[in-house]
Amino acid sequence: MATTSNFNRARNVQIDNYSYSYNDNSVNVNHSAGPLSELKARIAAGAIHDSAERCDAPKCYPETRVAVQANLYRWIVDGDGEVDQPKNIKWVTGPAGTGKTAVMGSLADRCAEDGLLGATFFFASWSASLGRRRKTAFVTTIAHQLVQHQEDLKNAVSAAMEKNPDVLEKNLHVQMETLVLAPLREVVRQSEGPELRGAIIVDGLDECEAEQYHDTKITGPRATPTRTNAQDQLEILQVLQAASLDPDFPFRILIASRPERVFREFFDPEINPTFAQKLDLNVEHNADADITLFLEAQFDLIRRRYNFPPSWLPPGTIQTLVENASGQFIYAATVIRLFDTGHREAPKALLDAILKMEVTRTTNSNPLEQLDALYMHILESSPDSPLSVRWIYAIHLLAQYPIEASALSVNMLLQTDPESNEAEHLLGTLHSLIQIPPHSGQTRTKYGFYHKSLLDFLQDRYRCGKLYVGESERRVFVWDAFVRVCASPKSFTSEDVLELHVHSGRAVISAALSALSKLPTFRPAEPGEFTRRAYLNGRLDLTQVEGLKDLIDAETEGQRRVAVRAAEGVTKQKFDKLRADIISSLAKVEALIDFGEGEEIEEGVYEDAKSRVQKVLDTTQGYLNDHRRGELLRSGIRLAIFGPPNAGKSSLLNFLGMCVCFVLFSSAATD
């Protein structure tokens, strides 16, 4: 399927005498009063372990990851055994797909059941919620969960917010001290309520994106943000470190992330030897047995679903898949989802294709080569895999906006033909990679990603090879979706017109207008400028311009109907007919004068012309007589009705207006 772009053939583009306009629809939200209500308004609700947003989040398959979960649970309950310098932070790490999020999710559920869960925060770079992608809601979300455990703590946090009303605008260190540590010290030392203990679980911290501030200046196509993801991730690590070292902080902290550089250096025992432990899932716990158990159980379900014989799996299938997984649960989970999502291939043929997949060898060492081969196989099953990859990029980019674009709105935005089912055509075979809502016309369901490793694969040119799409190409593809080009002469003004479709929030529109105003030769459109251009270019006549103005000013249904007829050219058509009759009559009379009746001019020409001209005069007089009524319809009338009480003034007004213009009451003199 070919793609179309408004700019893919453009060269040496220059824009002159450009003007722009915008429509603004705004929504005001008023949160309820009170410190804790204000705190709740600043949380990232989707980051909490049992939130609706995480209803499909991965969890450990029954009887898998038992040793890992037991190890972490014992540490939460008993600590590391050190009395003088206990290590109250444990860093759980491992490469992509090793099951970190599943372990953290299952552990959070168990701790919640046993009353050992203080708070959770699950970062996700693909989430539509800015709060789950950035640091801004981290401390507030933790504090909001902690106050649910004890009334004394709730009162202490509320008092702290009243004393420090601007705390929510402070940095994370100040927020942690004001909203968490100081209230905990007060409660731990004075409260007679239930003991606070357990774990604070932070997952996917490596997916936290940098927060760019309003005074950050990023200019030029090659400019880089002044803050990096690593800086914000380090800030959160330092805040958690400060909490863990506070003697009155009663919780142990679990942090799960990939082994990125900022984490390796922060948890390096030679740099920070006394406050944290490390658990590498890829080193200390061999996942092969758990993956084997998972695959055996899932393939048994597939066998029962299709009524296959017990021997349907070729010998060594499970072992081969376990070896291909290389400790990555995401590989095994993706294989199984291929069978669960109605893939077009028959189960046996699909399994055979998976087992025969060739791994592309590169000069770089790639521990994910089997996962890459699986991703490549699935993506190439799309009828147009390059275009489907662009769709995936666009879905990911659109999901990062706070508008939380639904699948339906994404489809409408990206499809080249609004009547087509392009989304199902392109993505129908990719259900094992992305969550695709059913094509049911629902307006709120959204696309989702099962695992970040898919995006990592697509963003690495060495791993995804021919399917790689550069960043500029990705942005142009999405840009084209937000841009509509109306080429002359079919546009409103008969000129080339470019429309930008953006979210109607005031801040978004202000930012767009500010950016446009900085471009050379760009300026805001003057009032009525587009209508004036349409008139000067012959797209509108004066009757249509007048009708357009009346339509803008219309307040009643009658005014709207008259204005629409004028704007659509009905008035123009009437006067064009009068003009044509005048020209035709004039031509016949001139011919009669010049040539006489002997030049094969039919008889009665003069009488016919005279009759037609009389009709024109009568019609014109009718329009003039109707002018007053039209003016009344457009401008309304002012009417004063005088009379004594109960004389029927309101009833008369309602009769004249043919509607209930004034409410009548049964009591005398109440109108």
In tens, the pLDDT along 29-69 reads: 333 458 999 999 999 999 999 999 888 888 888 888 888 99
Query: What pLDDT score was predicted for residue 237?
Result: 96
- What is the Cα–Cα distance from 132 to 443, expressed in whole angstroms? 23
Phi, psi of 428 (to 5 degrees): -60, -30
Phi, psi of 471 (to 5 degrees): -60, -40
Per DSSP, helices labelled H in 177-316 are 182-190, 229-245, 261-266, 281-284, 288-306
pLDDT average, residue stretch 161-180:
95
- What is the Cα–Cα distance from 453 to 462, expressed in whole angstroms? 14
In tens, the pLDDT along 351-390 reads: 888 887 766 555 455 667 788 888 888 888 888 888 888 8
Q: Of 155-164, 441-450, 545-554, which one has max mean pLDDT? A: 155-164
In order of 212, 400, 428, the CA distances from 387 in angstroms are 31, 20, 13
CB atoms within 10 A of CB 454: 24
Residue 258 backbone zone (phi > 0: left; psi -120 to 50: alpha; other: beta)? beta
Three-state SS for 255?
strand
Query: What pLDDT score was predicted for residue 628?
Result: 62
For residue 668, give both structure tokens.
Answer: 């005398």
For residue 35, give both structure tokens.
Answer: 């410190």
Share of the chain above pLDDT 90, in %: 23
In tens, the pLDDT along 189-237 reads: 886 656 778 999 999 999 998 876 544 444 444 445 578 899 999 999 9
In order of 45, 80, 110, 254, 476, the CA distances from 119 in angstroms are 12, 21, 13, 11, 41
Domains in the chain: boundaries: 36-216+226-284, 288-356, 379-481, 487-536, 543-635, 639-671
In order of 84, 299, 307, 331, 347, the CA distances from 350 in angstroms are 58, 13, 16, 15, 5
120-157 burial by CB neighbour count: b if 16+ within 10 A, else e? bbbbbbbbbbebbbbbbbbbbbbbbbbbebbebbbbbb
pLDDT over 60 (residue 323): yes
What is the average pLDDT score of the chain? 79
CATH number of the 36-216+226-284 domain:
3.40.50.300
For residue 271, give both structure tokens.
Answer: 């740099």
**CB-count exposure of residue 98 (10 Å: 0-12, 13-18, 19+):** buried
